[in-house]
Structure 1
Amino acid sequence: MMVLTKCMEIFIHLCILLNYAQEINNITIESQLPKCLPPPFSVLIKFVHNHISIDEIRQEVKGKYFSQYSCNELIGTKTHRTRHVRIDFTERNDYNTILKNGQISFCSQLYTVSEFLEAPKLLVCSKCNSPGHMKKQCRSKYDRCRRCGDDRIIGDHVECSIKCHHCSGEHLSTDYKCPILADYRFQLVKELKRHHKRLPEDVQLFIPAQCRDRNGRPHVITNYQKNEQKSRATYNSTFNMNTHS
């Protein structure tokens, strides 16, 4: 059974095992929970030293914030000394508290905590592995293997050689390191910057370093106009309340 919801609160509620019945009509319920929560419930801790294990970090955070949902290293951020860690919370109070504190310590090391901002994702076709459309709109004659690019129906595609059919590079055709996908992503970010006023007020997107301007700023795409209007309305409301009181 699959449950779909557009409500963030209901989604988070369904990510907590205690909110599930153990069985329905004598049928045991075994829930399949997501690995991560939506970005509005996630924080980022950068440059955590490698000698501190992920289990030690989970234990430290769990001792301070009971609603910790997951704690994982960000893929692609690990160097010979440090890596970035993403932590998700099911309770908004814990999320707000850790951000307000701005810091957390692991094994006598103090690290800065910031909100986790999701980078713009590409819409990649599951049939031809090309960006910009879905399988329903795809004009490819057959389903292409993302490893070798050949027809998935013909042959074994578990151990086939990896060769991107976009650029002939030694990576999956859906990998962001592909220059074709990288250029498409760059153009997508460029369009989002130009039309940022169309974004909802609660959406903030992280701009990857390779997609930023020369000065490296800004690193976030958001609807500045709507956020300014919202802040101004909040200020006016507070000011009026204080005036009348």
Structure 2
Amino acid sequence: MKSVGLSIDIIQFTCDLKSTYSDISKVIRLKNQKQNDTKLVKLEFIKPNQRDEILSRGKIMVDSLTYVVEEYLAPARVLICSKCCGIGHFRKQCQQNDETCKVCGLSCVDLASHQCSQQLKCIHCGGNHSSNELKCPVVKEFRAQLTKRLLSIPSTDSHFRPQLSDFPVLNSAQYPTIVNNKNWYNRNNNDEQTLTKLNDIIVSISKLNDKIEDLSLKTDKCEESITQQNRMVKETEKQIFLVSNNMKEFNANIKQLEIIFKRHENCLNNVIYPILTDVIKFVVEHNQINGRPRDADLGYRLERLRNQLKNGLEGKNCL
């Protein structure tokens, strides 16, 4: 399956797939060379019928979304012996007594005591590379033939189970025959060139997929950053809205206080101050005996008190 978004929950995605396609046994999200998740998902089936039907349509629908599907072909792995650098067997299966230097291609009893010339020479094709290099044309040809053989074997099961008898071990006597047989090499030269080009194309596509995957990860991070910034902007707008409401409430309280202050000011100017003036006048008039004041300072203190109140109402210094 292609273009399965990285934000999709693979567990829920698996449940949706299995609820629609009962023959699906496993749903696996593939990873790239850096072990990062990709947008490719591999489906494994219990029976081939449903798989073949989906492949014939070339697409699959999950949760109202359509995804393009292609058959998954795992690349064949080529075994290269670490003892003799031969193809098709492990070190434990090697029948050669001496060890072969993968750099210069010379055989020796013990590689630890071998003095290598450090001149690269492949024992398979004689090329300027190490003998265990997977880019060797002979190794590529072997892998191509192995892949063709794997694809040509009919199987009624959805899982291919290779048998060891299908891939005989190449011993040291057989392998030089393959290398030195010029007719065999020339006969397969055109096929080898074609397979080499196809292999290079596959490698280029793989690198391109890695770059696209990296770009997708960067895009996801950028989208996440933008989402976080939008969340912060919304939070800031919310705080501004709250401050604005508080300011409105504060202004309303100020207006209310101004009204109360105005009332008190009117009360002082129109009620208390006139009453105090009349009281002072009355006290001054009754503070006299035979035309002389009983208390000479009383009138002065009362007049001073009245002036202080007047200055206070007018906003002047009360002292």
- Structure with more of its chain in strand, by fraction: 1
TM-score normalized with structure 2 length: 0.32
Indicate the structure (1 or 2) with the bigger Cα radius of gyration. 2
- Structure with more of its chain in helix, by fraction: 2
